[in-house]
Amino acid sequence: MPSAALAIARCKSRFLSLLPSQDFEAIAPYLETERIPHKHIIYEQGQRFAWVYFPCTSVMSVLSYMQDGMAVEIATIGNEGFTGMEILLGAEKSSETLLCQVSGDALRMSANIFRELISDPGHSGIRHLAQRYARAYMAQMAQSVVCNRMHVIEERFARWILMTHDRVRGDEFRLTQEFLSDMLGVHRPSVSLVASAFQQAGLIRYSRGVITILNRSGLEDATCECYERVRNEFGKLLEQK
């Protein structure tokens, strides 16, 4: 097996695993593995795309910043997708800031080569899969707007933990209260209170910035309808042939 294919097999990108074999063979030689550290900035808002990343065990957050520096997460990208979705629409630069939420591995390729492949009629499978992902991604963004407006912090906290758990290996991942407050668009003391309540309820263990899932079904009971709706959207659009 070629080295690129071996890297993908180890990485377990759900997105890349769904490619038809001829399209997989076209994209594989251009991929390289990278370890992405926590809080590493992938793109700044307005930055030109140099790379497209396919997360494996890492999780990315798409952030929208206010003038006062307050950030709110509007989307999450894990092993089901790729970064730089705006490239599908012809964009040269990122419309938002993207950073690593949970450290881990990703595969990356040149943004220019990705543009060439999605424009090549001979590799329409790449473009069609990317477009299906884009529809699920936009559904996630729309649902995040509704969730941030309509649902209480406890429901949003549970939703965010579940979405992260879906994208990592195992029941434990590193996450600080400061980062959680940015993701949820609330002040740090609010996150501390919710995390303590969830810990006392036996849903999670939170110690020194590490979250351990103790009761997955309890978290699903605690979250809002937005989590299931977004999960179903990704399942429907990414698994169809």
Q: Give the pLDDT score at 51.
A: 97
Residue 204 burial (10 A CB sphere; 0-12, 13-18, 19+): buried
76-122 pLDDT, tens digit each: 899 999 999 999 999 999 999 999 988 999 999 999 999 999 999 88
Angle at 119 between CA 232 and CA 60, to 5 degrees: 40
The CATH code of the domain at 152-223 is 1.10.10.10
CA dist., res. 138 & res. 228, Å (int): 15
* DSSP-assigned beta bridge partners for residue 107: 33, 54
| Spatial separation of the C-alpha atoms in residues 56 and 161, rounded to whole Å | 18
Q: Would you place residue 180 in the very low, low, confident or very high pLDDT band (cuts 50, 70, 90)?
A: confident
- Cβ neighbours of residue 190 under 8 Å, at least 6 residues apart? 153, 181, 184
State how far the Cα of 155 lies from the Cα of 183, in Å rounded to an integer. 14
pLDDT confidence bin for 8, thresholds 50/70/90? low
Percent of the chain exceeding pLDDT 90 equals 43
Give the number of other CB atoms < 10 A from CB of residue 207.
9
- CATH class of the domain at 3-146: mainly beta
Residue 98, strand partner residues = 43, 62
Equal CATH topology for 3-146 and 152-223: no
CA dihedral in degrees (82, 139, 123, 5; nearest 10)? 30
**Predicted structure pTM score:** 0.86
Residue spans of the domains in the chain: they are 3-146, 152-223
Higher model confidence: residue 240 or residue 94? Answer: 94
